[in-house]
Structure 1
Amino acid sequence: MHEAKNTQRAVVRIGFDGRVHKTFRGPDAEKRFANEVRVLKYLERRNCPFVPRLLEYDPQTLKIVTTNCGSIVQHISDEKSQQLFEELERYGVRHDDPYPRNITYRPSDGQFCIIDFEFAEILDPDAEDLEQDEVAAPDATPIHYIQWSGCTDRGKVRPNNEDAFLAMLLDKHGIRYLGKTGESHVEDADFIFAVSDGMGGERSGEFASRIAISRITSLLPGKFFLSDLQFAAYSSTILGELFARIHHDMLELGRYDPACRNMGATLTLAWFRRGRVFFGHVGDSRLYYVPAEGAMEQLTMDHTHVGWLRRQGKINEREARYHPRKNVLSQALGAGHQYLKPQFGMVQCQPGDKFLLCTDGVIEGLWDRALEEMVRHPPSNDPDWNHAAHIVRAAVAECGRDNATAVLVGVR
């Protein structure tokens, strides 16, 4: 680690992965540690974009780990500095030292940021208590069982399959890989499902999607032991750290191995935890939510210009499908992208709800209306309950130019 600061009050080191490690010491160290943790949690719940994200904290060692917000600015106008601290107050926090020494510049997205919150003040403590109550609110209807199926196919044209999918159970004993189909009681266990579409030519695309999937199994298990309140409050941080690590690993592989240069992957992940689904996403694979009552909803955004055009209502589904630049990604893991901003979210689920994760090979073969119909009304004569295979086979039959992968999950 590189030591960035060593004062009477704290030691700050930067890890090789870029994360910031801050250890409090000196007068009132415990109090300052607790306040910074409290303020950073509060700002994350309010989605403040220009402060560090709290990744880890240890009350025993008085150490926190945060995302890196860049270097201290050397030159910034008084007006800009004042505007930044005023903006912080609109998020409900007043900094005790509103001067440029606590302002950094993050080159990844061109953002000025504010750091060091050990003496900061939350302006409305009652609002903090209310937000925590909302995070901890119980689920309306308990979920008892989860059922899943997964399938991947290389299609009619591609010589190899660059897609991959994951079905995994996580409990106090560790992880357990799930089969292509199955059903399980959800008590005392989390379930994680993901799809990834690799890119990069030759075999590196196939390698990329498998890297994305394998990193999930190595980086997430320890998060099972977080309380429901902690997990809900930090889900975007947990998933953000996962996506950042995968992105970093792919860029490093591309830097040192010519065969992996420009290697990249999409990743769409759904984490089922006691009646809630926390998801993370980058690229143009998709997560659909098919409620027991109500219309199907695409929860994820396609990270393409064509996807943006469709979200703005400038083109329809048919125009998007046949657009010549539909597969040009604005964001992906690796693939030479220096700036990564994944999408994170959460939905509550009710008995009878279903979720479909799929790569673009499925989307190219089936219109949304056909997808919804197949999810809601799977074939009754499928003895293996592999309804995902039914969707993939239909997509390949209709198109088949790309690899196609689907994971279908139902709760009851």
Structure 2
Amino acid sequence: MEEGKDTARALVKIGYDGTVHKYFRHRFAKERFDNELRVLQYLEERGCEFVPRVLSYDVDKLELVTTNCGARVDRMDDDKLKAIFAELETYGVRHDDPTLQNITYRSRDGRFCLIDFEFATILDSSVAAPPPIPVVTGPINADEFIVPAVPTRMKWSGYRHAGKVRPNNEDEFLGVAFNQGEFNYLAANGQSSIDGFDYVFAVSDGMGGERSGEFASKFAIDNITRLMPQRYHLKLKHQAGGIRDCIRELFLGIHRQLTVLGNSYDEGKNMGATLSLAWFVEDRFYFGHIGDSRIYLLPQGGGLKQLTHDDTHVGWLKRKGELNEREARQHPRKNVLSQALGAGNRYVVPQIGEMKLAPGDRLLLCTDGVIEGLWEHSLEDLIRFPQGKLIGEPPAKRIVEAAVAADGRDNATAMVIECG
């Protein structure tokens, strides 16, 4: 069989007869297997013809064998994409990962199809699942189910540019590695073993009169060092919750101090900063965010996904599905923040989260100057598929220089981190 996809959640292989063999693995594999099987059986019973049809399955090996729905789609208009997922709901199922990576094109009948239903919901929960179909019999080769490895190395790049208009750069970025005995500021580009070290990467975009925006972003970045002593006071069993608490306390502390400083002199009134931070601990990363800088996840198999929420009314409308990417970028209030660190906000609520990582996964941290110049599909292409002379450039530099060339009205900063 030919390998079709190998990610942390699943291994997909294509049989010589064209059938798709999906092996669920890693966290909650059984639950995801059960859900996808139930949803696909339900859709077959309802007569939905643009999704995979289950041919057989093996509960013990978590193998699902389905028909082939064609090749993945690289580009699609946002309205067309929404229409395809909306059509699915007429059959009583909502796809809870409505992204381009889950759309394929079936050439034999010219039909766009939907795949990967491990995250999907049957809208009528009272409907019983269809009767089970026969279980797969026969052996599976040992190489057809591979336990995902744990990342052992970290590779990173960071780059910032003032843009074409502004005389100063109010963006900052930072990379640090530390353990109980060492603390190291990282060069803009590098790689290292992750054994025994935590890694923290962050970007910040300052705002305010005179040069107070420049000060605010630098202040936010410099305060990240406060994480270090708290980290090693945590007991192992309390590590995950403790790290999230450390991030929350960091954000709230920066906010309080920027507010005090902003009230202390007229030039700094309402100065503030965005902050997006990723903290790597072994095979997990924790993130904190506030403002309209962003953190994206790019899994090894592709499909860029924004993890953070833009703290703007336009970002809220986009998350609700009322605006597509093009409409959000052209909205006149796209840069009006609903919250940031300092900036005259009385209260702030940072977004805190965590995820598990697999080798080949990448993270992109960037300020809004990057988003002003580049579409999301361009971000993924610049990271995964650089062309010509760009191949030799660090990913962060490729992204920032492309954004400045396309727009350049704002400062632009990016960091790209890859697990190996």
Deviation of the 1:224 alpha carbon: 4.0
Paired residue for 1:408?
A: 416
Deviation of the 1:233 alpha carbon: 2.0
Structure 1 residue corresponding to 2:281, chosen from 267, 273, 286: 273
Structure 2 residue corresponding to 1:261, chosen from 257, 262, 269: 269
Paired residue for 2:357?
A: 349
Contact 1:170–1:221 at 8 Å: present in 2 too?
no
* CA distance, structure 1, for counterparts of residue 250 and residue 274 of structure 2: 13
Structure 2 residue corresponding to 1:191, chosen from 179, 199, 207: 199
1:367 aligns with 2:375: yes
> 5+ residue gaps in structure 2?
1-146
Paired residue for 2:306?
A: 298
Aligned partner of residue 400 in structure 2, secondary structure: helix
1:157 aligns with 2:142: no
Deviation of the 1:199 alpha carbon: 0.2
Q: Deviations over 1:27-53 (max 9, x none)?
A: xxxxxxxxxxxxxxxxxxxxxxxxxxx
Number of equivalenced pairs: 274
Contact 1:186–1:274 at 8 Å: present in 2 too?
yes
Paired residue for 1:393?
A: 401
Contact 1:149–1:386 at 8 Å: present in 2 too?
yes
- CA gap of 1:142–1:380, structure 2 versus 1, over 3 A, is farther
**TM-score under structure 2 length normalisation:** 0.63
Structure 1 residue corresponding to 2:225, chosen from 186, 199, 217: 217
Deviation of the 1:187 alpha carbon: 0.3
Structure 2 residue corresponding to 1:232, chosen from 240, 244, 252: 240
Aligned partner of residue 303 in structure 1, secondary structure: coil
* CA distance, structure 1, for counterparts of residue 342 and residue 251 of structure 2: 10
Contact 2:230–2:246 at 8 Å: present in 1 too?
no
Query: Amino acid of the residue matched to residue 215 of structure 1?
Result: N
Paired residue for 1:285?
A: 293
- CA gap of 1:344–1:277, structure 2 versus 1, over 3 A, is same
Contact 2:173–2:202 at 8 Å: present in 1 too?
yes
Aligned partner of residue 220 in structure 1, secondary structure: helix
Paired residue for 2:131?
A: none
Contact 2:170–2:213 at 8 Å: present in 1 too?
yes
* CA distance, structure 1, for counterparts of residue 269 and residue 319 of structure 2: 32
- CA gap of 1:275–1:161, structure 2 versus 1, over 3 A, is same
Contact 1:306–1:323 at 8 Å: present in 2 too?
yes
Structure 2 residue corresponding to 1:311, chosen from 319, 323, 341: 319
Deviation of the 1:227 alpha carbon: 4.6
1:321 aligns with 2:329: yes
Paired residue for 2:156?
A: 148
Deviation of the 1:383 alpha carbon: 8.3
Contact 1:181–1:385 at 8 Å: present in 2 too?
no
Contact 2:178–2:228 at 8 Å: present in 1 too?
no
Contact 2:227–2:246 at 8 Å: present in 1 too?
no
CA RMSD of aligned residues (A): 1.7
Paired residue for 1:182?
A: 190
* CA distance, structure 2, for counterparts of residue 378 and residue 274 of structure 1: 29
* CA distance, structure 1, for counterparts of residue 286 and residue 322 of structure 2: 30
- CA gap of 1:381–1:229, structure 2 versus 1, over 3 A, is farther
Aligned partner of residue 218 in structure 2, secondary structure: helix
Query: Amino acid of the residue matched to residue 316 of structure 2?
Result: W
Q: Percent identical across equivalent pairs?
A: 51
Paired residue for 2:13?
A: none
Contact 1:149–1:385 at 8 Å: present in 2 too?
no
* CA distance, structure 2, for counterparts of residue 330 and residue 263 of structure 1: 14
* CA distance, structure 2, for counterparts of residue 365 and residue 359 of structure 1: 11
Query: Amino acid of the residue matched to residue 146 of structure 1?
Result: M
* CA distance, structure 1, for counterparts of residue 404 and residue 268 of structure 2: 28
* CA distance, structure 2, for counterparts of residue 303 and residue 148 of structure 1: 26
